[in-house]
């Protein structure tokens, strides 16, 4: 029988020190704390940071799905916050909770990233991947290999989205620099925020004449659509258009680049055995994408505010409280996935196909939580998958015998200066023998 001392020890073992969330160990490897949260504190009241933490799969699902009980918006029509005043991107869709204006903004761009429009755009995605691969040379680091993050993954999605917006191709390098500063500004305060805002202002100055030009001579591009969209007979202001573009460059660029790096990291280091199968059958890159979005997603956490009192497990979250949704923890919930801490592209308990905002699938399997769900479900979900799969397929077809260049890799981590709190490897050196014929 457990003694009082055993019980006390067990009680202490279960306690969570909220400062653990700020510790370097958590930034490096959050999964042990996630497990303790799921097991012992499924709804954790972090009094130190004045917030609540939700970590089990179905609880994360319920918070994402319930736009009556939670809002993401920091802007409210009758609230004190001036729209766009604090966000590094300027005024944008991320500041809205739900409602007509949020729905309208989603609708302007929604069709662009899915279905036929996306299919029509695939040749451009293909072209940009090929151009970047053509630049990779054996020996770019002096020793025979290349660094995936700087030479490929941070270059690729930003060029895709700026192309979709119809921005001049010759200025793509400038967009790569701007979006990196924006993202660093989003995730960190102080000088990073100042640099992010400076980059945004520079980018805005650059965009203004382009927007004016498209107003007069609209094209087929996404920027023209954003400019022309009307709600109740009103179009967006110049500031709102620029904020929207900044958001799309960052949302479309920053997340997908890290997804590509995470996929390669896990193939090279975690599952070289499965990488052999992927090289034989490149269609499996789609499974790599899905399992990466479960096991080690780019985005681990989203935030909401409770708009009413909510009872969950043994706790009551008060109205107005900040709620952190740890989707990275929900994805490793052993109540939902077998061996959740194993990266396995052949797992049969995960929906492997396209995602949707309801998270409910015909095959009856649960999906990953990496794109969120519900009202704010990622709008680029289909495009991100296409981009990542096309890029990875071309890379693995082009490189003969790709392998890790460094044996001891520090792994995937967050945050770091350029990551804005998202998780990805900071560097990933890849060696290969030569390029395959035709590359
Ligand atoms: C692997 C890549 C990506 C990941 C991991 C990702 C992740 C996410 C997540 C988790 C959310 C939900 C935010 C919330 O619930 O508060 C979100 C929203 C959003 N994403 Fe993505 N995203 C990716 C790619 C993209 C791309 C390529 C685009 C556009 C080109 C995009 C545009 C957006 C937009 C506009 C929203 C806001 C939707 C709204 O508030 O209604 N994302 N994304």
For the CA atoms of 333, 339, 345, 351, the dihedral, rounded to the nearest 10 degrees, stands at: -40
Burial of 210 (0-12, 13-18, 19+ CB in 10 A): middle
Do the strands 146-147 and 429-431 form a parallel or antiparallel pair, or are they unpaired? Answer: antiparallel
Q: Is the CB of 301 under 6 A from ligand 1?
A: no
181 inside domain: no
| Residue 136 within any structural domain of the chain | yes
Atom 14 of ligand 1, residue of closest alpha carbon: 376
SS3 418: coil
Q: Is 253 in the pocket of ligand 1 (CB under 6 A)?
A: no
- Report if residue 288 sits inside a domain: yes
Give 2's contacts (C-beta < 8 A, 6+ positions apart): 10
Q: Give the CATH number for residue 380.
A: 1.10.630.10
Is any ligand 1 atom within 6 A of the Cβ of residue 223? no
Sign of torsion, CA 373 375 376 377? Answer: positive
In this structure, of 13-27, 33-47, 63-77, the range with the lowest mean pLDDT score is 63-77
In a domain, 119, yes or no: yes
In Å, how far are 240, 244, 301 from 175, measured between CA atoms? 19, 15, 26
Task: Tally Cβ neighbours within 10 Å of residue 400.
Answer: 13
Categorize the per-residue pLDDT at 336 as very low, low, confident or very high, splitting at 50, 70 and 90. Answer: very high
**Mutation test residue for ligand 1: of 67, 153, 245, 378, the one with most atoms within 8 Å of CB:** 378
Integer angstrom CA distances of residue 266 from 220, 269, 270: 38, 5, 5
SS3 16: coil
Q: How far apart are CA 35 and CA 55, in angstroms?
A: 9
Mean pLDDT of 257-280: 97
Which residues partner with 44 through β-bridges?
Answer: 53
Per-residue pLDDT band at 81 (split at 50, 70, 90): low
| CA–CA gap between residue 303 and residue 321 (Å, rounded) | 11
On whether residue 377 sits in a domain, the answer given is yes
d(CA 402, CA 87): 41
Residue 66 lies in domain: 37-81+112-153+238-435
Residue 269 CB less than 6 A away from ligand 1 = no
Q: Give the pLDDT score at 418.
A: 45
- Reported as a single tens digit per residue, the pLDDT across 197-216 is 888 889 989 999 999 999 99
Comparison of pLDDT for 433 and 330, the residue scoring more: 330
Kindly tell me if the per-residue pLDDT of 417 is higher than 50.
no
- The overall average pLDDT reported for the chain is 89
Which is nearest to 239 in space by CA: 208, 216, 213? 208
- Which of 379, 382, 388, 390 to mutate for ligand 1's pocket (most ligand atoms within 8 Å of CB)? 379
Task: Note whether residue 339 is domain-resident.
Answer: yes
Q: Say what the pLDDT of residue 144 is.
A: 64
3-class SS shares of the chain: helix, strand, coil, % to 5: 50, 10, 40
pLDDT-derived band at 188, boundaries 50, 70, 90:
low
Does 225 reside within a domain? no
In a domain, 214, yes or no: no
Cα separation, 111 vs 375, in Å, equals 16
Contact 200, 89 (CB under 8 A): yes
Proportion of the chain above pLDDT 90, given as a percent: 63
Q: Is the C-beta atom of 263 inside 6 A of ligand 1?
A: no
CB 179 within 8 A of CB 418: no
Contact between 404 and 429 under an 8 Å Cβ cutoff? The reply is yes
Query: Parallel, antiparallel, or unpaired for β 322-326 and 51-54?
Result: parallel
Ligand 1 atom at minimum distance from 377 CA:
12
Average pLDDT of the segment spanning 375-397: 96
pLDDT, position 116: 92
3-state secondary structure of 167: coil
The per-residue pLDDT for 327 is 96
Q: How many domains are there within the chain?
A: 1
Can you give the pTM of this predicted structure? Answer: 0.93
Beta strand 315-317 with 310-312 is antiparallel
DSSP letter at 336?
Answer: T
Q: Is 106 in the pocket of ligand 1 (CB under 6 A)?
A: yes
């Amino acid at each position: 029988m457990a003694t009082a001392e055993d019980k006390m020890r067990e009680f202490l073992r279960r306690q969570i020190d909220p400062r653990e969330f700020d510790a370097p160990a958590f930034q490096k490897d959050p999964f042990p704390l996630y497990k303790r949260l799921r097991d012992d504190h499924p709804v954790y009241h972090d009094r130190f940071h004045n917030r609540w933490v939700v970590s089990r799969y179905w609880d994360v699902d319920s918070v994402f799905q319930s736009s009556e009980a939670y809002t993401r918006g920091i802007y409210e029509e009758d609230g004190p916050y001036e729209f766009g005043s604090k966000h590094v991107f300027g005024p944008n869709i991320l500041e809205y909770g739900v409602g007509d204006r949020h729905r309208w903004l989603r609708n302007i761009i929604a069709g662009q990233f899915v279905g036929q429009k996306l299919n029509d755009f695939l040749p451009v995605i293909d072209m940009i991947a090929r151009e970047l691969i053509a630049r990779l040379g054996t020996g770019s680091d002096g020793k025979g290999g290349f660094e995936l993050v700087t030479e490929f993954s941070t270059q690729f999605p930003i060029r895709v989205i700026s192309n979709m917006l119809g921005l001049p191709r010759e200025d793509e390098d400038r967009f790569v620099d701007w979006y990196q500063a924006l993202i660093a500004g989003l995730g960190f305060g102080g000088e990073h925020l100042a640099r992010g805002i400076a980059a945004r202002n520079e980018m805005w100055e650059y965009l203004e004449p382009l927007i004016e030009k498209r107003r007069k001579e609209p094209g087929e591009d996404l920027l023209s659509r954003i400019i022309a969209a009307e709600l109740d007979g009103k179009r967006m202001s110049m500031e709102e258009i620029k904020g929207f573009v900044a958001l799309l460059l960052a949302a479309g660029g920053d997340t997908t680049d890290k997804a590509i790096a995470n996929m390669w990291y896990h193939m090279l280091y975690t599952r070289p055995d499965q990488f052999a199968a992927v090289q034989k059958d490149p269609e499996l890159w789609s499974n790599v994408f899905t399992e990466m979005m479960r096991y080690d997603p780019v985005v681990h956490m989203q935030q909401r505010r409770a708009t009413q009192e909510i009872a969950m497990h043994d706790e009551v979250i008060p109205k107005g409280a900040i709620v952190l949704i740890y989707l990275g923890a929900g994805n490793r919930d052993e109540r939902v996935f077998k061996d959740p801490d194993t990266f396995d592209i052949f797992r049969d308990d995960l929906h492997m196909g396209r995602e949707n905002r309801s998270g409910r699938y015909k095959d009856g399997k649960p999906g990953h939580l990496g794109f969120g769900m519900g009202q704010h479900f990622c709008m680029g979900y289909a495009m991100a998958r296409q981009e990542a799969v096309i890029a990875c397929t071309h890379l693995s077809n082009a490189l003969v015998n790709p392998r890790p260049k460094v044996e001891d890799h520090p792994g995937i981590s967050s945050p770091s200066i350029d990551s804005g709190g998202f998780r990805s490897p900071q560097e990933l050196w890849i060696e290969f023998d030569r390029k395959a014929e035709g590359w």
